[in-house]
């Protein structure tokens, strides 16, 4: 695609909307950006002071819809239930849609209703949506008018577990235990006492332990890839940092696979899947630092850390193996606002429009 790309951002006042506007402002192929807000009386740079000088101004959603035929892509950074109300009209006008909410993540609208306890108002579109994990569904994303960006937990976990599925180490009827810590931006912009700096600093806040809503997404897509049901037990918490996600996943491997496994063998599987360095997936990098100590040596460099991906669209992966218990340990870290949301949305836009996949996203961690 040549020329300037014009985009709309519905729900541009939150953390994800701000991050998306920041990335789009630095994208060499993007021309006009139309951000929406419920309250358009506030200046854009008053809501997002870090973007002062950008020249962006809020419009209401009605004005964006009126301009839809002139927009190449519209992103939704909205609560569940809002994208499904507007997407049919936008798609009918020929505008591509990337939804960062949960509205189109399930092909079967009944799954959405079960998890979010709300009726899906555009059920005819759910089967047409493509899950926006670009590294897994790139060819489908390229021709999709509607892309459903997964949640940040789901992106980090799927990228970490797919090599195990593809090599028969995570099979139907397997149970996966996922422990994940998210930055406080994952709690949204609505004020909550527990997420105030004075409360969260030096603390960790577990939540949704009754059954996290993203477990259903993971079970659906891992099961689809594995060809059968997989149970995902997910435990989540907010940590005392603003951005980033650390996912640790434990997978009990099939009995017949135990004899041939060690960390080096697992690293080979991951490098074969994602490549090494510049050979392979640009945004998925495997930590292959050799371990040189004995058992239980605290070799911190062998695993990825959240601080190394903040501000980037990269996912860093690490693996290890507990031979006594036959458990593969996977570590996956991303910036929840970039690779977990806005960055992956831009990556999908690039693929949808035939642009270089890394365009506007070549920055590394801070």
Q: Quote the strand ranges of the chain, DSSP E.
A: 5-10, 30-35, 73-76, 96-99, 130-131, 146-148, 175-182, 205-207, 231-238, 245-252, 275-276, 279-280, 284-286, 315-322, 327-334
Task: Answer yes or no: are the C-beta atoms of 203 and 271 closer than 8 Å.
Answer: no
3-state secondary structure 109-148: HHHHHHHHCCCCCCHHHHCCCEECCHHHHHHHHHCCCEEE
Could you give the domains of the chain?
Answer: 5-128 (3.40.50.720), 154-335 (3.30.360.10)
Round to whole Å and give the CA distance between 234 and 307. 23
Round to whole Å and give the CA distance between 3 and 306. 36
DSSP assignment of 339-365 equals IIIIHHHHHHHHHHTT--TTTT-----
The closest of 77, 19, 90, 6 to 48, measured between CA atoms, is 19
Residue-wise pLDDT for 302-317, tens only, equals: 999 999 999 999 999 9
Dmax over CA atoms of the chain, in Å, equals 65
Round to whole Å and give the CA distance between 362 and 165. 29
**pLDDT (0 to 100) of residue 366:** 87
Percent of the chain with pLDDT over 70: 98
Does residue 257 surpass a pLDDT of 80?
no
- From the list 21, 77, 152, 315, the catalytic residue is 152
Task: Answer yes or no: are the C-beta atoms of 189 and 14 closer than 8 Å.
Answer: yes
**pLDDT (0 to 100) of residue 179:** 96
Q: Which of the two residues, 84 and 2, has the higher pLDDT score?
A: 84
pLDDT band (50, 70, 90) for residue 84: very high
Residue-wise pLDDT for 322-333, tens only, equals: 999 999 999 999
Does residue 3 surpass a pLDDT of 70?
no
Does residue 1 surpass a pLDDT of 60?
no
Task: Answer yes or no: are the C-beta atoms of 76 and 10 closer than 8 Å.
Answer: yes
Does residue 273 surpass a pLDDT of 80?
yes
Q: Which residues contact 206 (CB under 8 A, 6 or more apart)?
A: 235, 236, 237
Does residue 173 surpass a pLDDT of 80?
no
Q: Which residues contact 250 (CB under 8 A, 6 or more apart)?
A: 176, 177, 179, 327, 328, 329, 330
Residue-wise pLDDT for 194-226, tens only, equals: 888 888 899 999 998 888 888 888 998 898 888
Q: Is 77 a catalytic residue?
A: no
How high does pLDDT run on average in the chain? 93
Residue 55 gets the label, from left (phi > 0), alpha (psi -120 to 50) or beta, of left
Q: Which residues pair with 248 in a beta bridge?
A: 179, 331
**pLDDT (0 to 100) of residue 35:** 97
Round to whole Å and give the CA distance between 252 and 221. 19
**pLDDT (0 to 100) of residue 334:** 98
pLDDT band (50, 70, 90) for residue 285: very high
Let me know the angle formed at the C-alpha of 32 by 29 and 35, rounded to the nearest 5 degrees: 120
**Within its chain, how far is the Cα of 21 from the centroid?**
17
Does residue 45 surpass a pLDDT of 90?
yes
Structure tokens at 259: 């004899």
The closest of 348, 288, 283 to 313, measured between CA atoms, is 283
pLDDT band (50, 70, 90) for residue 255: confident
pTM of the model: 0.95
**pLDDT (0 to 100) of residue 47:** 96
């Amino acid at each position: 695609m040549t020329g300037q790309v014009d985009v709309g951002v519905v729900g541009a006042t939150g953390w994800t909307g701000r991050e998306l506007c920041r990335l789009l402002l630095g994208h060499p192929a993007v021309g006009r950006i139309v951000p929406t807000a419920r309250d358009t009386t506030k200046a854009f740079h008053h809501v997002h002071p870090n973007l002062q000088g950008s020249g962006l101004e809020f419009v209401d959603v009605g004005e964006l819809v009126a301009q839809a035929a002139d927009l190449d892509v519209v992103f939704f950074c909205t609560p569940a239930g809002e994208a499904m109300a507007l997407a049919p009209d936008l798609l009918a006008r020929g505008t591509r849609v990337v939804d960062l909410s949960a509205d189109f993540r399930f092909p079967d609208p009944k799954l959405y209703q079960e998890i979010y306890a709300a009726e899906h108002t555009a059920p005819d579109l759910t089967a047409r949506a493509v899950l926006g994990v670009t590294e897994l569904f790139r060819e489908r994303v390229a021709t999709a008018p509607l892309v459903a960006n997964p949640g940040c937990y789901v992106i980090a976990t799927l990228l970490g577990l797919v090599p195990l599925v593809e090599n028969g180490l995570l099979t139907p009827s397997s149970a996966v235990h996922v422990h994940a810590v998210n930055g406080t931006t994952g709690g949204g912009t609505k004020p909550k006492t527990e997420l105030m700096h004075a409360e969260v600093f030096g603390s960790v806040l577990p939540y949704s332990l009754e059954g996290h809503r993203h477990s259903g997404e993971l079970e659906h897509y891992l099961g689809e890839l594995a060809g059968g049901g997989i149970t995902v037990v997910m435990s989540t918490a907010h940590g005392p940092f603003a951005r980033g996600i650390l996912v640790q996943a434990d997978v009990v491997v099939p009995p017949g696979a135990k004899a041939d496994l060690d960390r080096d063998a697992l690293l080979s599987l991951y490098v074969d899947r994602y490549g090494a360095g510049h050979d392979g997936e640009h945004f998925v990098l495997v930590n292959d630092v050799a371990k040189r100590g004995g058992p239980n040596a605290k070799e911190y460099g062998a695993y990825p850390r959240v601080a190394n991906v903040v501000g980037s669209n990269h996912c860093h992966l690490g693996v290890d193996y507990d031979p006594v218990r036959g458990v593969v340990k996977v570590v996956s870290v991303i910036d929840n606002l970039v690779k977990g949301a806005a960055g992956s949305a831009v990556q999908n836009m690039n693929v949808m429009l035939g642009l270089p996949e890394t365009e506007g996203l070549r920055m590394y961690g801070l």
